[in-house]
């Protein structure tokens, strides 16, 4: 199992007001999965994704990434773990505006200490893989939303993480662009074996996922696996 959450709860305390975002959630993901966390706003999708992505810590319960228990790790160790094991795609693309598409893709690899030559080679490969070859020198603001999100996907997969966590990746895209992005991610999953976990309320993503986990009020209410998905069909 790549990542596993065991009976986790998360309570936010905002100036004494406690809000339970997750309540006894257990979830495990195997290598190669293409899974969507679905649910309405406030159901706990992003909270669960943040906890699985070592961006936040649960109030109780355990999270293991490739067998490593996260709760005992320092902030620096968690940061190093995210750098080596996890890829992230965010709803608002979150590219670094002062870097070109290629530099954004190289960013994580540079943090990992990959040599310049290897970074360049890998960045070219993944930019080609997300069909952005030729746009490497463009800055994010010179690109469309769909292109920016492709760069974000390229950045996430460039360092060959164990799993890519994508928080509402299609939320800011029109349906056609969203469909093409989803197709690309399904292809990366199928052909390159990249494991994806999405949080979404987009029916398109839900339809494309091979496993759909539904959350409501901080609890898993449905966890079903389909043999074929729209995107992989």
Partner 1 sequence: MLLRMAWRNLWRNPRRTIVVLSAISIGIAGCIVAMAINLGMVAGMVDTAIRGGLAHLQIHSAGWDENPELEVRLMDGGAEIAKALDATPEIQYWAPRLRAEGLAASPRASVGVSITGVDPIREAGVSIAADSISEGQWLGERGRVVLGHKLARRLNAEVGSKIVLSVQDLAGELTGQAFRVSGLIRSGSRELDDGVVFMRLPEAQALVRMGESITEIAIVTSDRTLVNQIQARLRAALGSGPEIRTWEQLEPLLVYMIASMDSMAWVLYAAVFIAMAFGIANVLLMAVFERTREIGMMRAVGMSRARVVSLVVIESTFVTMLGLLLGVGLALAAIWLIGDGIDISSFAGSIDEYGIETVLRPSMRSRDLATPIVIGAITAVISSLWPALRAGRAKPADALRHV
Which residues are near partner 1 by CB under 8 A?
50, 53, 55-56, 75-76, 79-84, 86-88, 90, 92, 94, 96-99, 103, 106-108, 110-112, 155
User: If we measure between CA atoms, which residue out of 201, 169, 204, 174 comes closest to residue 92?
Assistant: 169
Nearer to partner 1 among residue 10 and residue 210 (C-beta)? 10
**CA 65 – CA 203 distance, rounded (Å):** 28
> Cβ(36)–Cβ(231) under 8 Å?
no
Task: Look at residue 129 and give its three-state secondary structure.
Answer: helix
Nearer to partner 1 among residue 75 and residue 117 (C-beta)? 75
Q: How far is the CB of 201 from partner 1 (least distance, A)?
A: 17
Backbone φ/ψ region at 94: left (φ over 0), alpha (ψ -120 to 50), beta: left
Task: Look at residue 7 and give its three-state secondary structure.
Answer: strand
Nearer to partner 1 among residue 87 and residue 169 (C-beta)? 87
Q: How far is the CB of 175 from partner 1 (least distance, A)?
A: 25
Q: CB-based burial of residue 199 (10 Å sphere; 0-12 exposed, 13-18 middle, 19+ buried)?
A: buried
DSSP string, 59-95: SEEEEEETTEESTT--HHHHHHHHHHHEEEE-TT---
Nearer to partner 1 among residue 42 and residue 207 (C-beta)? 42
Q: How far is the CB of 131 from partner 1 (least distance, A)?
A: 22
DSSP state letter for 199: E
Structure tokens at 192: 């390159």
Nearer to partner 1 among residue 162 and residue 230 (C-beta)? 162
Q: How far is the CB of 101 from partner 1 (least distance, A)?
A: 14
Nearer to partner 1 among residue 39 and residue 53 (C-beta)? 53
Q: How far is the CB of 77 from partner 1 (least distance, A)?
A: 11
Q: CB-based burial of residue 84 (10 Å sphere; 0-12 exposed, 13-18 middle, 19+ buried)?
A: middle
Q: How far is the CB of 225 from partner 1 (least distance, A)?
A: 28
């Amino acid at each position: 199992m790549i990542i596993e959450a065991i009976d986790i709860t998360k309570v936010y305390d905002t100036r004494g007001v406690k809000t339970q975002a997750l309540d006894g959630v257990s979830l495990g993901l195997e290598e190669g999965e293409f899974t969507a966390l679905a649910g309405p706003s406030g159901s706990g999708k992003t909270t669960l994704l943040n906890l699985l992505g070592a961006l936040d810590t649960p109030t109780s319960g355990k999270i293991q990434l490739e067998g490593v228990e996260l709760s005992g790790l320092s902030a620096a160790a968690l940061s190093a773990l995210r750098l080596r094991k996890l890829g992230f795609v965010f709803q608002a693309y979150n590219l670094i505006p002062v870097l070109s598409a290629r530099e954004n893709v190289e960013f994580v690899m540079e943090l990992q200490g990959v040599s310049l030559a290897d970074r360049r080679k890998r960045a070219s490969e993944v930019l080609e893989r997300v069909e952005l070859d030729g746009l490497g020198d463009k800055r994010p603001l010179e690109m469309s939303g769909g292109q920016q999100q492709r760069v974000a996907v390229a950045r996430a997969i460039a360092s060959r993480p164990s799993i890519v966590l994508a928080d509402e990746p299609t939320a800011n895209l029109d349906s056609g662009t969203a469909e093409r992005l989803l197709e690309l991610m399904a292809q990366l999953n199928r052909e390159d074996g990249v494991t994806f976990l999405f949080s979404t309320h987009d029916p398109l993503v839900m339809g494309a996922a091979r496993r759909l986990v539904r959350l409501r009020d901080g609890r898993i209410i449905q966890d079903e696996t389909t043999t074929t998905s729209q995107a992989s069909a």
